[in-house]
Structures are given as structure tokens and as C-alpha cells.
Amino acid sequence: MEILNWLPPHAHQIRYTAPLYEEDEDGNSYVYNEDEYTEVWHQVIREVHKTKRPMYYRRRTIDLARRDRYNWQQSIYSQNNWQKDWNKNCTHVRVRVIGRRVLFIYDEEFVYKNWTTSRNKRELQDKIRKLKEGKFKNFGKEKSKKDLLISLGGKEYGYESLADLERAINDVG
């Protein structure tokens, strides 16, 4: 099969058993095959991070494999985004789909790029939020006479004090 050429030669295949959920009378759902199902986070992702050896499992359809890739990659992203130091605490695992197989690879460079991008995006959003808060801080509040003098450019027109401006307003109107 040509698809096996895309897999790393030293990748370890595991058997995947999906969790099966059941509801009780109260509407609470729980996993009823706890002893059998594959805990991907602990059995696969943590193991790949620790040993740096790729692992993969097969799903029944391509859509299920794509959904798993999306879910597990988003879980890794969200877990890494909370970390302050990417080297010590981040999980350096990349998730890929090859046919119906979900492949977990140790990839520090990929994780570092995503972590720095997300950190820069978060810093930029904080800057924008602070600028908006500063810009609209006094929005909707009534302006004082001093603010009116500044906004009219009173000093440019020769009004040095608030009393001079008041006299000019009274003379006009």
C-alpha cells in the first residue's frame, strides 16, 4: 500500500477503542467501557512527548480521523497556550492525518511556531483592548469648560484663560 510510505518507518501502531457513552434516568452521561477505551491524551500524546517516538491508530472513516486530528490538535494548542515557558511545560506533539490513520509526531519547531504566534496574537489583542479603553474612557461624559477651551483651540485664538473664553462666548451670543 502506498499510504504506508507516508508513515514514519519507526512509528508504533496502537489499537484504538472509542469510548461508549450511556445515559442514566437523570440524563447524566458516562463512559461505560472505562476499562477498554483508549485514553488518547495519556496513552498516546503523553507517551509520544516522553519517548519522541511517533504513534498512530486507525479509524473507520476519513471523517472520523479528521475530526480526531482537529480535536486533539486543538486540545494541545489550548493546553500549550496557558504555559509561560514553552520549553518546560508545553506538549511538543503534532497531529496529522494520513488516510484513515491519525498520526502523533514529536515536533518542537511546529509547537514553538504556534506558541509564539498565539502569544503575539494575545499581546496584540491586549494592546488593542487597552487603546480602546483609553480612547473611549470619557466617551459620553459631559465636557468641562477646560476641555472645551482645549478642544476649540483657545490658546491658538488668543484665549489664555477660561475667563477670556467665557467673555468671548458672552460677546458672541
For the stretch 32-46, pLDDT in tens is 888 888 889 999 999
Q: Is the domain of 30 the same as that of 75?
A: yes
> Which residue shows C-alpha cell 494592546?
127
Q: Is the domain of 158 the same as that of 129?
A: no
Q: Which of 55, 12, 18 is nearest to 34 (CA)?
A: 18
> Which residue shows C-alpha cell 514529536?
106
Q: Is the domain of 101 the same as that of 163?
A: no
Segments in the chain below pLDDT 70: 1, 136-162, 165, 168-173
Q: Is the domain of 108 the same as that of 161?
A: no
The pLDDT, as a whole number, for residue 44 is: 92
The pLDDT, as a whole number, for residue 29 is: 86
Hey, what amino acid is at 69? R
Q: Is the domain of 113 the same as that of 47?
A: yes
The pLDDT, as a whole number, for residue 172 is: 59
Q: Is the domain of 164 the same as that of 83?
A: no
The pLDDT, as a whole number, for residue 3 is: 73
Q: Is the domain of 66 the same as that of 131?
A: yes
Q: Is the domain of 125 the same as that of 56?
A: yes
Q: Is the domain of 65 the same as that of 95?
A: yes
d(CA 169, CA 172): 5
The pLDDT, as a whole number, for residue 148 is: 57
Q: Is the domain of 95 the same as that of 149?
A: no
Beta carbons within 10 angstroms of residue 116's beta carbon: 11
Q: Which residue segment(s) compose the domain that 158 sits in?
A: 143-173
The pLDDT, as a whole number, for residue 56 is: 95
d(CA 22, CA 2): 39
- pTM, rounded to two decimals: 0.69
Strands (E), 11-144: 12-13, 21-23, 29-31, 55-58, 93-98, 101-106
The pLDDT, as a whole number, for residue 34 is: 84
Q: Is the domain of 59 the same as that of 110?
A: yes
The pLDDT, as a whole number, for residue 54 is: 95
Number of domains comprising the chain: 2
